[in-house]
Amino acid sequence: MAHQAHSYHMVDPSPWPIFGAATALLTTSGLTMWFHHNSMQLLMLGLTSMILVMVQWWRDVVRESTFQGHHTPTVQKGLRYGMILFITSEAFFFLGFFWAFFHSSLVPTPELGGQWPPTGIKPLNPLEVPLLNTAILLASGVTVTWAHHSITEGNRKQAIQALTMTILLGFYFTALQAMEYYEAPFSIADGVYGSTFFVATGFHGLHVIIGSSFLSICLLRLIKYHFTSNHHFGFEAAAWYWHFVDIIWLFLYMTIYWWGS
């Protein structure tokens, strides 16, 4: 049996990258069909196949690391860089939407009544549910840090408790936002106010759901003894992502909800 003379991971050939690309094509085509031709089948097919690929790809990463031991410190360093670069790219993604918001709100056009919020728009009270949501996400930042400390200290029970609380707070945030969306007196079609509000908060909400899913997988892995007290990068990546989601919310709250009301 050949042994490698380096600390990097030469992965087995895998079908997931090319299948992933195919599912991305299906999903984007599906979105087009949904937006313009009132048909959801292609989109559903795209999303289903995308989820299947993601599950199997990440399942394989867990196999390669926890079960096969390929994640040496060198490999882990690369993964850390990767996650940081990814989160940075997401920050730029949101930056675009904040730019759009400030473009329209700093110099409101005559069509909007020369004011922000535009004439006729009744914004949400930032001191009601949005403030609660801020408290929820800040608390979840504390609980995820508590979970991390519990993992490094080898305290299994507390780690499970803290991570569970984090996930529950995430679900609570999503439920409250869903309710706010339903009850809001304005919609995405209400001019540039509606567009900037729902696109920015909508993408944020999607990231909360993604983050909650990532944390849930980590909880499952934590319960199944995958993490050790000094090797648990999957959890750290999820925690970084979660903090990022929290910070984006703080910016959303201060700019769109508070300053923009």
Partner 1 sequence: FHLLFQSLRQLSQRTISTASRRQFENRVPEKQKLFQEDNGIPVYLKGGLMDALLYRVTMGLAVFG
Contact positions vs partner 1 (CB under 8 A): 1, 11-16, 19, 22-23, 26, 42, 45-46, 48-49, 52-53, 56, 60, 63-64, 66-69, 157, 160-161, 223-226
Compare residues 12 and 128 and give the one whose CB is closer to partner 1.
12
In the structure, how many helices (H) and strands (E) does the chain have? 7, 0
Closest approach, Cβ 179 to partner 1, in A, equals: 21
DSSP helix/strand/coil, 201 = helix
Residue 27 beta carbon to partner 1: minimum distance, rounded to whole angstroms? 10
Report how far apart, in Å, the C-alpha atoms of 46 and of each of 21, 42, 50, 52, 68 are: 11, 6, 6, 10, 31
**Residue 100 or residue 176: which is nearer to partner 1 going by CB?**
176
Are 133 and 176 spatial neighbours (Cβ–Cβ below 8 Å)?
yes
Cβ proximity to partner 1: between 20 and 191 the closer is: 20
CA 171/CA 176 separation, integer angstroms: 9
Q: Which is nearer to partner 1, 80 or 226 (CB)?
A: 226
Based on the number of CB atoms within 10 Å of its own CB, is 60 exposed (0-12), middle (13-18) or buried (19 or more)? middle
The least distance separating partner 1 from the CB of residue 230, rounded to whole angstroms, comes to 16
Nearest to 236 by CA among 59, 82, 64, 133: 82
- Report in angstroms how near the CB of residue 126 gets to partner 1 at its nearest: 23
Sign of CA dihedral 9, 229, 83, 215: positive
Minimum distance of partner 1 from residue 170's CB (angstroms): 17
Between 94 and 173, CB nearer to partner 1:
173
Which of 32, 54, 83 is CA-nearest to residue 217?
54
By C-beta, is 160 or 188 nearer to partner 1? 160
Nearest to 57 by CA among 177, 186, 217, 167: 217
Of 112 and 162, nearer to partner 1 (C-beta) is: 162
Q: Minimal distance in Å, beta carbon 229 to partner 1?
A: 14
68/98 Cα distance (integer angstroms): 43
CB of 155 to partner 1, least distance (A): 13
Evaluate whether 99 touches 44 at the Cβ level (below 8 Å): no
